[in-house]
Structures are given as C-alpha cells and as structure tokens.
Amino acid sequence: MQLWFTIAQTITAKVNMLKFLSEFSERTKDGHIQWLCQCNCGNSSKYMATRVKHNRVNHCQECSRKIGAEKIKIHGMRNTATYSSWISMKDRCLNKKSKDFQSYGARGINVCKEWINSFEQFYKIWEKNQKKIN
C-alpha cells in the first residue's frame, strides 16, 4: 500500500484535476487496483489506478462532460440553418457518395480552402452577404 500511495502521489501531481485520496482494498473483476480520487470540483470517485497512471482519466465524469461540451461548442451555431447549409455544401462538393455530388463536385465545383475546415470563415462571408441582401 505504501508503494502505491507514493506512486499515486507522484502520478496525480501530473494529473492536475485529480487528487489521490486512498486505495481501495477490493480490486476490479479483472484484478486491477482501484483508487479513490477527488476532482478539483470536489467530486470523489473510484478509478482504476492504471487509467489514472497512464493519463486515460484525469477528471471526474461531470467535468469531462463539461470539457467535452466546450470542445464542440466553438461557435454555438451547430443547430442553425446556416451551419446546415455549410455542411450540405461541403457534402455535395466533396463527398463522392453524396446524391448531389454529380451535379456539383463531379462538375468541378469546389469549396474554397478557407471554408473546408472553418465554419467561422464561411459565416463571415455569409453574414456580409446577408447584410447586403437585407
């Protein structure tokens, strides 16, 4: 136990959101050592020691959900008609399996480099054109 405690302290010092509290006496069904760790937010939970040690888990489930949501929420326009238009444009111009590819991509109609991976760049131009129309 003392050896694992020392290792746990060393490892969790690198994993900035989890703090080692104790080692469970019971192991997982597969025989893995389990640790009780506390996240910076205050939540405590049981984790497999190897998952913490190898940086496979470094915060609680609640924080993980929040971090994941922030990663995908770049522009906050995912469920808008404009975003849907951008996705559809890329699909019909770049995806050979699209039902509309023959009318667009196969005829040489492409998406400019700036727009392929950046909805924000597409939106800037779209927004300017919408102001001119209205």
pLDDT tens, position by position, 30-83:
999 999 989 888 999 899 988 888 888 888 888 888 877 776 666 778 788 899
Phi, psi of 17 (to 5 degrees): -105, -10
Residues 98 and 38 in one domain: no
Residues 68 and 98 in one domain: no
Cα 134 to its chain centre, rounded Å, is: 37
Residues 65 and 29 in one domain: yes
Instruction: Give me the number of domains the chain comprises.
Output: 2
pTM reported for the whole predicted model: 0.47
Structural domain of 98: 81-133
Residues 10 and 66 in one domain: yes
Q: Hey, what are 106's tokens?
A: 């196969």
CB atoms within 10 A of CB 35: 24
Residues 12 and 60 in one domain: yes
- Better pLDDT: 19 or 111: 111
